[in-house]
Structure 1
Amino acid sequence: MARLRLDKTPLFRVTHFDNIKYIAEKGITHVSSPDSNENYVPIGNNAIIDKRKERLLPSGRPLTDYIPFHFAPRMPMLYAIQKGYGTEVVDPRRLVYCISTVQQIMDAELEFWFTNGHAFSRLSHFYDSSRIRKIRGLLDWDAITDNGWGGSENTDLRRRKEAEFLVGADVPATCITEYIVYSPSVKDKLFVSGIDDDKIRVEPGYYF
């Protein structure tokens, strides 16, 4: 089995459009960071976010101490956000992907862990940075890229699809390789806000 190129292994994090200007300047920051965004606009199910406080990593720190990324777009979480399941509906034009790579995080010498499924699930395993070279064999890449995850019969497929890459410190803006948006009009707004045109990509297929 060929080894994955870590500089070609993207990391996806979805956030609200209103957070992007701050992220482009300060990076993706933790709530407890000295550089935290006081005007941060959250998305997602607050009950699930609160439950993540209860799940400890082998490091002894809770999931909420880490900034989560996924390994592909169109995650079940995004579907819930766009459709309003357990949370307020958010229009896809108000959602932006921040893209990094595994290599970018490694080059920044940031602590990280990764999982082979949704990090809150007790069925998922945590791996530290020493296992990163074996990531191809540790994760189910067919599940990660499978968009047919709906239905009760696909519960474990959905868990494996939601494998996470968890960063234990603020992610500098220099680690963000590009921003992905729903439409050209959103790209124009990001460009006007000061983000380089060549760092913004329109991909409506990354949304529901």
Structure 2
Amino acid sequence: MPLHYPSVLLYHITEIANLPSIIQGGWLLSDARVASLAHEVIGHGHIKARRLTELTIPCCGNRFVGEFVPFYYCPRSPMLFTINQGNVGKPRGHQKEIVHLVTTVQNATGLNFPWAISDGNAGARGVLFNSEIEALDALDWGAIRTTNWAGLTRQKQAEFLVADYFPWSYIESPRFL
């Protein structure tokens, strides 16, 4: 069945503790923009640093990956799993402190901000980026949708990236999973 691009769901994960500042500010911010704010960070520090200083998105003017707000295409991402396992400096079971902020591709592309699709974890080397909506067709949707991603981690971690900011008003629902 072909994808209906506008209705493809996008999931951004953040600490529940970050919600008040996101709502008050009106925006989700890229790591580059949020760096100077009091904010709970939930990723691997070395990967976040690489996203901010080493990895660029050629189809978006070679801007750094860390200048984009990241979204996954699934609610149960490998990143959420590793957070819950206690692998990023948070206690084991930390998933209960995470909220999924859900929107759609239609909302994300309708902003007229630069955006890109990665075919894997945008914080890894060798990932391909594209800013054509048809790149969604090339993603491994079987891997993205599976709950058993052994051997498929790269594909499952494909991302939709929006430059700099994403408006809170475009979040359709926060979900606690």
* Length-normalised TM-score, structure 1: 0.75
Aligned pair count reads 172
1:30/1:60 CA distance change after superposition, 3 Å:
same
Deviations 1:132-167 (A, max 9, x none): 0x24421110011112123xxx1xx11011001111
Aligned to 1:88: 90
- Measure, in 1, the Cα distance between the counterparts of 2:164 and 2:5: 19
Name the residue aligned to 1:9.
8
Matched, 1:174 2:174: no
Partner of 1:23 in structure 2? 22
Q: Which has the larger radius of gyration?
A: 1
Q: CA deviation at 1:92?
A: 2.4
Question: What is the RMSD of the two structures over their aligned residues, measured on CA atoms?
Answer: 2.0
Give the percent of matched residue pairs that are identical in Structure 1 and Structure 2: 27
The residue that corresponds to 1:163 in the other structure is: 158
* In 2: Cα distance, 1:105 partner to 1:56 partner: 20
* One-letter code aligned to 1:23: I
**Paired amino acid for 2:116:** W
Structure-2 change in CA distance of 1:54 and 1:37 (3 Å): closer
The 2-side partners of 1:158 and 1:93 are apart by 22
Task: State the Cα deviation string for residues 64-84 of structure 1 (Å, max 9, x = none).
Answer: 111111000111111111111
Alignment partner, residue 109 of structure 2: 106
Counterpart amino acid of residue 169 in structure 1? D
Where structure 2 has 5 or more consecutive residues not aligned to the other structure, the ranges are none
Unaligned segments of structure 1, at least 5 residues: 182-203
Q: Which gives a bigger RCO, structure 1 or 2 (Cα 8 Å, sep 6+)?
A: 2
The 8 Å contact of residues 11 and 72 in structure 1, kept in 2 or not, is answered as yes
SS in 2 for 1:98: strand
- Confirm or deny: 8 A CA contact 2:100 2:174 kept in the other structure: yes
Q: Describe the SS at the equivalent of 1:105.
A: helix
Q: Which residue of 1 is the match for residue 73 of structure 2?
A: 71
Change (3 A) 1:127 1:64: same
